[in-house]
Amino acid sequence: MFDGTRKSLARAITVVENNLSNKQKILQAIRSNLGRAHVIGVTGPPGVGKSTLIDACIPEFRALGQSVAVVAVDPSSHFSGGAILGDRIRMAQHAEDSGVFIRSVAARGHLGGLSTTARHIIDLFDAAGWDRIIVETVGAGQSEIEISELADTVVVLESPGLGDEIQSLKAGVIEVADFIVVNKADLPQSDLTMSYLKNSIALRHCEKSARVLKVISTTGEGIPELVRQICENIERLDGFERTRTIAEQNRRSAARIVAESIERAFRSSGHAKIQEFTRRIQSGELDPDPLAQRMVRHLLEDSQDSVTTK
């Protein structure tokens, strides 16, 4: 069973990844041990330097006595190829350290999306007592929002560029970021990019305003300052705000889990009713919008019944 040791952790991850029969039992068993780890989401476009940055941050966290688990979620295409091999080799410098655990996970959903498997693996690390869980995801619009649902601290990476070239300015990204990090500050225009980002943040009047930093991940320049500020953020969140964050995250991820299950049912179910709906939607006979609303109403009445009859 799952006792939190490295070996049983590796085994539990395999169980979760391969959907083996004792998966639910393990997930059930760890439920009461969740919410202790601090999850740091690192996101940004492919090639921006996420893995290099994470790699550079690990020794800083280790120097503070914190254990670090890395969950690297990449589109499946990167897993067979050189890119992920590169990740493994670069991150392998920490391989001997028992306070570091690096795991790559296939993104089975949409590009950069966080698969349910990835979420479960994060939970396993959390339950096993890992202090910091760094999750690398490819920024592709939706994934930044997804990462914000489970990460306590969101780091969005950007490389030097101007205006339209700056990918983190896409809708919603600035709003979820705690830190916007201009990586590759050894390249031209990094200062211009910084001020451009700062101006955009000031104009948005977001609830939380992201801090903008610049680093050179390949040399480690700026990394200690980034880690220091992340730790400050962690301390700030520990306490009332963090409890609220966890409650909020749970609510949002519950909503996503329900939505995903329904979507899955629609995509793959051979159920006659769903086939009928799909056929009528495709023929233009049925509008998905009122159908969805009717289904939600139905669902709520139904679950109300089952709650009250229990």
Site for ligand GDP, rule CB under 6 A: 44, 46-52, 86, 183-184, 186-187, 216-218
Candidates 24-32, 44-52, 55-63, 153-161: pick the segment binding Mg ion (CB under 5 A).
Answer: 44-52
The rounded distance, in Å, linking the Cα atoms of 94 and 110 is 30
Candidates 47-55, 125-133, 206-214, 254-262: pick the segment binding Mg ion (CB under 5 A).
Answer: 47-55
CB of 73: closest distance to Mg ion in angstroms?
A: 9
- Closest residue to ligand GDP, judged by C-beta, is 49
Residue nearer to ligand GDP on the CB measure, 50 or 120: 50
CB of 127: closest distance to ligand GDP in angstroms?
A: 27
H/E stretch holding 242:
helix 240-268
Closest CA to 45 of 218, 165, 220: 165
Q: Are 138 and 115 in contact (CB under 8 A)?
A: no
C-alpha dist (Å) from residue 21 to 16, 27, 258: 9, 12, 22
Which strand ranges, in their side-by-side order, compose the sheet holding 38-44?
100-107, 68-75, 132-138, 38-44, 153-158, 179-182, 211-214
Q: Which does 183 bind (CB under 5 to 8 A by kind): Mg ion, ligand GDP, none?
A: ligand GDP
Q: Which does 47 bind (CB under 5 to 8 A by kind): ligand GDP, Mg ion, none?
A: ligand GDP
DSSP codes of every residue in 57-89: HHHHHHHTT--EEEEEEEETHHHHSHHHHHHHH
CB of 95: closest distance to ligand GDP in angstroms?
A: 17
CB of 208: closest distance to ligand GDP in angstroms?
A: 23
Residue 51 interacting with Mg ion (CB under 5 A) = yes
